[in-house]
Amino acid sequence: MKELIRTDKLSKYYGKNGSIKAVDKLDLKVYEGETFGLLGPNGAGKTTIIRMLSGIISPSNGTASVNGFDIVKQDIEVKRITGLLAESPGLYDKLSAYEFLEFMGALYEVPENILKQRIDHYLKIFALDGRQDYLLEGFSRGMKQKVLIAAAMVHDPAIIFLDEPTSALDPRAALTVKHLLKELSEDAGKTIFVSSHILPIIEELCDRIGIINEGKLITVGTVEEILTQAEKPTLEEAFIAMTGGVDKKELLAWREQGNGSA
Ligand SMILES: Nc1ncnc2c1ncn2[C@@H]1O[C@H](COP(=O)(O)OP(=O)(O)OP(=O)(O)O)[C@@H](O)[C@H]1O
Ligand SMILES: [Mg+2]
């Protein structure tokens, strides 16, 4: 299997003297065609990892390559072969959905006829085809999210980074995204790197999962491997045990006591 993403002690530090270790000496490999899920509590470093790997921010230390391109020295090439759905992306409110996607496609120099087909395709699968000429300022949060997912895909990147892709979506739209990611992975052979708190989505979609906490990678493997390692029956319990420590275990104990006395 070809290594598409490889990080070598990749680190990002913030604050005075780098006291906030947002990402600390990350060693990770992601293979061509796989769907890789990043799980971690708030502030664990997921967004920071995705932003480094898509060439948006530079590491403080260590290196990484994406399809052989160095994320610092070859950031333009990295941006070209990756698509990014950012956590809190900017969006041009005064453009229509169609104009925004056209604009994004033009940035990536997608030929006009191909671009038109792609835009129509995504507008259709997200059921936005009736709204394509309306300004984005009038779109709901979830509708904007759908447009942004389409925008991340408009140059047909080999690798797609999605930071919390379903957080703003209703269950039906979340399911659409799940199916879309499955299709992109299985039919189009894309490599997908997704961060999410929504465990069932990660569990169902991902070939392998990495769990991070406080900037450090705790474990990587298939769901089964992680359950075995954590000696827990569900990914939720494994996740909490591996990232939470005593406080969260107490919370669970309280829940169980509640059930027992009911
Ligand atoms: N630009 C920044 N300046 C200072 N600190 C930052 C910056 N970006 C991130 N951090 C810090 O780095 C750590 C990791 O943040 P990050 O956004 O990567 O976490 P996350 O796993 O994406 O969390 P969430 O699930 O809440 O989105 C946090 O402590 C955060 O405060
Ligand atoms: Mg984040």
In a domain, 211, yes or no: yes
In a domain, 215, yes or no: yes
Phi, psi of 120 (to 5 degrees): -60, -40
In a domain, 134, yes or no: no
Q: What is the per-residue pLDDT for 197?
A: 79
Q: Domain span at residue 30? A: 3-86+159-221
In a domain, 241, yes or no: no
19 lines ligand 1 (CB under 6 A): no
In a domain, 247, yes or no: no
Q: What is the per-residue pLDDT for 200?
A: 85
In a domain, 51, yes or no: yes
**In CATH, what number is assigned to the domain containing residue 30?**
3.40.50.300
Q: How far is the CA of 40 from the centre of ligand 2 (A)?
A: 9
Contacts of 258 (CB under 8 A, 6+ apart): none
- Ligand 1, atom 10: closest residue by C-alpha: 22
Record the pTM: 0.90
Which of 10, 39, 47 has most ligand 1 atoms within 8 Å of its beta carbon, as the pocket-test mutant? 47
Pairing relationship of beta strands 35-39 and 191-195 according to DSSP bridges? parallel
In a domain, 93, yes or no: no
**Closest by CA position to 85, among listed 167, 208, 179, 207:** 167
How far is residue 176's CA from residue 126's CA, in Å, rounded to a whole number? 7
Counting the structural domains of the chain, the total is 1
Q: Are 57 and 87 in contact (CB under 8 A)?
A: no
**Length of the chain, in residues:** 262
The tens place of each residue's pLDDT in the chain, 262 residues long, gives: 899 999 999 999 999 988 999 999 999 999 999 999 999 999 999 999 999 999 999 999 999 999 999 999 999 999 999 999 998 888 889 999 999 999 999 999 999 999 999 999 999 988 899 999 999 999 988 889 889 999 999 999 999 999 999 887 888 888 888 888 888 888 888 999 999 878 888 898 999 999 999 999 999 999 999 999 999 999 999 999 999 764 545 555 555 555 544 4
Which two tokens mark 41?
A: 């509590």
Which two tokens mark 62?
A: 């260590």
Pairing relationship of beta strands 208-213 and 216-221 according to DSSP bridges? antiparallel
Q: How far is the CA of 65 from the centre of ligand 1 (A)?
A: 22
Q: What is the per-residue pLDDT for 255?
A: 59
- Ligand 1, atom 4: closest residue by C-alpha: 14
In a domain, 178, yes or no: yes
245 lines ligand 1 (CB under 6 A): no
Which of 20, 24, 194 has most ligand 1 atoms within 8 Å of its beta carbon, as the pocket-test mutant? 20
How far is residue 31's CA from residue 187's CA, in Å, rounded to a whole number? 16
Single-letter amino acid code for the residue at 1: M
